Amino acid sequence: MQVKSRKKISAAVIAHDEEESLPGLLETLGFADEVVVLDAGSSDATAEIAREAGAVVLTGENLRNLNVNKTTAIDATTGDWIIYLDADERVPLELAAEIRAAVDEDGRGRVAFTMPRLNQYFGKYLRHGGAYPDTQLRLFKRGKARFACMSVHEKLEVDGPTGRLRTPLVHESYPTVAEYMRKLPFYIQAGADHLKRKGVRPGPTNSLKYFFVKPTFRFVRRYVLRLGFLDGWQGLAAAAMDAYQYVMMYAAYLDRARNKQQRT
C-alpha cells in the first residue's frame, strides 16, 4: 500500500503596525507548517508578536506597491504549497481543513486554488454590493504562480489549472471607522501611484472623470445595481467610501503634480 507524503504548507504574511490584528490571524494558521511574516516598517510590536508565535520574521519598508513585499515574503518560504495572507484576514477551521486536504493530495491536478472572501465593514459581513464572493487566488504550488508585474493592482499569474475552495476566507477589513481612517491614507497614495503609472494627465477632462463620473458610477453600481442597500447602513458606507477613495486618489495625484511644478 502506497502512503501519501504530507505536503508542507507555508503561510506568507505582510504587516505594518498590525499589533492589534496580527494575533487573530496567527491563531488561525495552525494548519501551516511554516509562517513567514514580513514586517513592513512597523513602529509597534508587530515583529515581536510574530516572533513569539514562532514565525520567521523579515523586515522591510512600508512600500505602497504591496506586491513587492508580498513577493519578498513568498520567496522566503520553503513549503511545497504557499498561501499568502494579510494581517487582518482569518482562516476558519473549515477552510483550513479544505486547504490541508487539497494540498496533501498535491492539488488533485490543480496548481492553485481560489477561495471566496467575506469582508467586514463596521461590524457586518457584506453579502451584496460586489463585496461577496470577492474571489481571491491565494493558495498555490511552489513555482506555479507569480506576480508578473510589480503593481499593487496586479494579480497572481498561474502556470496551470486552478481549482476552487468552498469555505470563505474572513477579512476583518474595517471593523471600526477608526481602522478605516488609519488605512485610508496608504490606499489613497497607492491609488495616486497607479494613476501616475497609467500616464493619466491632469486637466479638465480627467478632473470631471475622476471627481464625478467614475465615483458616481461606482457608487450607483455598488449600492443600487449590485444591491448594496441590502447590507444596511454598512452597505451604504462601503459604497460611499469606495467613491470617496476614488476622488481622493485623484486629488492626491493633482497635489503631487502641483508640488512638482512649484519645485521647478
pLDDT along the chain (264 residues), means of 10: 71 96 97 97 97 97 88 96 97 97 91 97 96 96 84 78 97 94 93 92 94 97 97 97 95 90 70
| Terminal CA-CA length for the chain | 75
4, part of any domain: no
For the whole model, what pTM was predicted? Answer: 0.89
Give the end of a domain, one of 174, 193, 214: 174
- Sign of the dihedral through C-alpha 103, 116, 147, 93: negative
| Shared domain check, 164 and 234 | no
Closest C-alpha among 100, 2, 13 to residue 51: 13
Count: domains in the chain: 2
| Shared domain check, 111 and 93 | yes
Note the pLDDT of residue 82. 98
Note the pLDDT of residue 107. 83
Range of 230's domain? Answer: 177-263
Note the pLDDT of residue 67. 87
| Shared domain check, 113 and 140 | yes
| Shared domain check, 152 and 120 | yes
| Helical segments of 115-201, H only | 177-198
The cell numbers describing 198, all together, are 497609467
Give the end of a domain, one of 174, 193, 217: 174
The answer to whether 67 and 74 are in contact (CB under 8 A) is no
The cell numbers describing 30, all together, are 495552525
| Shared domain check, 121 and 87 | yes
The cell numbers describing 9, all together, are 504548507
| Shared domain check, 161 and 68 | yes
31, part of any domain: yes
| Shared domain check, 143 and 21 | yes
Question: Domain containing 13 — which CATH number?
Answer: 3.90.550.10
Place of cell 467613491: 243
Note the pLDDT of residue 257. 87
Note the pLDDT of residue 66. 85
Query: In angstroms, rounded to a whole number, what is the distance separating the alpha carbons of residues 191 and 8?
Result: 36
| Shared domain check, 129 and 115 | yes
Give the end of a domain, one of 174, 204, 236: 174
